[in-house]
Amino acid sequence: MPANRNVVIIGSGPAGLTAALYTARANLQPLIIEGIEAGGQLMLTTMVENYPGYRDGIMGPDLMAEMRAQSEKFGATMIHGNVTSVDLCAKPFLVTTSDAEFNAKTIIIATGASARLLGLPSERTLMGRGVSTCATCDGYFFRGQEIAVVGGGDSAMEEAVFLTRFATKVTLVHRRDTLRASKIMQDKARANQKIAWMLDSEVEEINDTGRGEVTSMVVRHNKTAVRTRVPVSGVFVAIGHTPNTSLFRGQLEVDANGYIITHDGSKTSIPGVFACGDVQDHIYRQAVTAAGSGCMAAIDAEHFLENIPEHLATV
Ligand code: NAP
């Protein structure tokens, strides 16, 4: 028989762990299934300077360790591993991992979104050491320096323009000669004198893995095959995000880009299933907003459980 739970939280980034803290303090004994990338995107960052309460900043992994310990202190149970399937038609819901099954009266989905990456080994090695996927988080570290943004969509334009507040020069690298971004965003970027353009070009290598910091990138022109070494101290990869929603495909309402649609706080299209953090937010994508929405999901789940139909209350 599957174990019975009031709340199963899927995902352990700031949204999932805040939902865990609040449901634990509401005495609901939540179970958190951490997922393969336990701790979420903050595990890939170094210094976090914009999470309130840490005047001198805190390392991303340390912040996640604090959040985890805080929720465990109040009775949240974490299990390693990944959810392999979810049945949202079953009542109670059925959550299956690689080695266990759980019945859940409510589910909080906090599976996040993954930044798309170029796929270069050096990009992975230097992530958080000059390579970033979040200009809002890391732009401040590049005051007075020359940096690059990769991508041709609205995010790349927005990040490039934003980064000119700090950097002396921002080189925008895009793989085609036309941009995907909306005209208004393109115009704004093109009007900015601090932005240099390398179109029809791809980043082939980011240096210097040996020193553990970004010193330059090698850009290859797609038509001429000419390679150029561009000195930069930061590379912002802005080629889109993928919400981690494949588990719920066909079971929950999602938008055209696959993000879970929420309404009235964290409610999804299925009563008793709540979503928080980047899996339902492609706009703000901040640790603090994810944590805030995790709190909302916990309170929504608590209210749902107070009014749960009699036949489920016995689970
Ligand atoms: P996006 O629109 O999917 O654009 C991704 C960009 O990255 C494209 O230019 C794409 O090139 C490029 N790319 C993808 N994979 C690549 C790879 N492996 N190597 C090199 N380049 C690669 O993503 P987004 O810019 O994050 O925007 C997502 C959604 O949010 C969009 O609907 C956008 O309008 C919206 N958004 C709106 C705003 C705003 O209005 N303020 C701001 C940000 C985002 P190709 O063009 O060649 O495919």
Domain CATH for 99: 3.50.50.60
Q: Are 109 and 249 in contact (CB under 8 A)?
A: no
Domain count, the chain: 2
By residue count, the chain amounts to: 315
- The answer to whether the CB of 220 is under 6 A from ligand 1 is no
- The answer to whether the CB of 239 is under 6 A from ligand 1 is yes
Distance 241 CA to ligand 1 centre (A): 8
| Co-location of 174 and 196 in the same domain | yes
| Co-location of 25 and 77 in the same domain | yes
Q: Ligand 1: which residue has its CA nearest to atom 32?
A: 154
Write out the residue range of the structural domain in which residue 20 sits. Answer: 3-114+241-313
Distance 150 CA to ligand 1 centre (A): 10
- The answer to whether the CB of 255 is under 6 A from ligand 1 is no
- Which atom of ligand 1 is found nearest the CA of 119? 18
pLDDT tens readout for residues 168-205 = 999 999 999 999 999 999 999 999 999 999 999 999 99
| Co-location of 84 and 172 in the same domain | no
| Co-location of 136 and 222 in the same domain | yes
Contacts of 119 (CB under 8 A, 6+ apart): none
Residue whose structure tokens are 């020193």: 211
Query: What does the block give as tokens for 21?
Result: 């803290």
- The answer to whether the CB of 130 is under 6 A from ligand 1 is no
Residue from 248, 246, 266 nearest 23 by CA: 266
Active-site residues, by number, are 134, 137-138
Helix, strand, coil shares of the chain as percentages rounded to 5? Answer: 30, 30, 45
Give φ, ψ of 163 to 5 degrees: -70, -20
> Using DSSP, how many helices (H) and how many strands (E) does the chain show?
8, 19
Q: What distance lies between CA 262 and its chain's CA centroid?
A: 17
Cα distance between the two ends of the chain: 12
Q: Ligand 1: which residue has its CA nearest to atom 35?
A: 154
| Co-location of 190 and 179 in the same domain | yes
Domain boundary among 214, 237, 260: 237
| Co-location of 24 and 69 in the same domain | yes
Q: Are 242 and 277 in contact (CB under 8 A)?
A: no
Query: What does the block give as tokens for 199?
Result: 């179109």
- The answer to whether the CB of 154 is under 6 A from ligand 1 is yes
Kindly report the pTM of this predicted structure.
0.82
Domain boundary among 237, 272, 299: 237
Residue from 184, 135, 128 nearest 162 by CA: 135
- The answer to whether the CB of 198 is under 6 A from ligand 1 is no
Q: Beta strand pairing status for 201-207 and 216-221?
A: antiparallel
Residue from 142, 101, 109 nearest 234 by CA: 142
Along the 315 residues of the chain, how does pLDDT read in single tens digits? 777 899 999 999 999 999 999 999 999 999 999 988 888 888 867 778 889 999 999 988 999 999 999 999 999 999 999 999 999 999 999 999 988 999 999 999 999 999 999 999 999 999 999 999 989 889 999 999 999 999 999 999 999 999 999 999 999 999 999 999 999 999 999 999 999 999 999 999 999 999 999 999 999 999 999 999 999 999 999 999 999 999 999 999 999 999 999 999 999 999 999 999 999 999 998 999 999 999 999 999 999 999 976 545 544
pLDDT tens readout for residues 24-68 = 999 999 999 998 888 888 886 777 888 999 999 998 899 999 999
Spatial separation of the C-alpha atoms in residues 194 and 199, rounded to whole Å: 16
Distance 289 CA to ligand 1 centre (A): 22
- The answer to whether the CB of 180 is under 6 A from ligand 1 is yes
Task: Give the type of residue at 96.
Answer: T
| Co-location of 142 and 283 in the same domain | no
Domain boundary among 237, 255, 281: 237
- Which atom of ligand 1 is found nearest the CA of 116? 15
Task: Give the type of residue at 149.
Answer: V
Distance 91 CA to ligand 1 centre (A): 39
| Co-location of 125 and 229 in the same domain | yes
Distance 218 CA to ligand 1 centre (A): 22
CA angle, corner 139, sides to 205 and 286, nearest 5? 105
Pocket perturbation via mutation, ligand 1, pick of 180, 187, 205, 206 by most ligand atoms within 8 A of CB? 180
| Co-location of 107 and 162 in the same domain | no
Q: Are 58 and 4 in contact (CB under 8 A)?
A: no
| Co-location of 132 and 190 in the same domain | yes
Distance 29 CA to ligand 1 centre (A): 40
Q: What distance lies between CA 15 and its chain's CA centroid?
A: 10
Give φ, ψ of 21 to 5 degrees: -60, -50
| Co-location of 252 and 227 in the same domain | no
Q: Ligand 1: which residue has its CA nearest to atom 4?
A: 153
| Co-location of 102 and 149 in the same domain | no
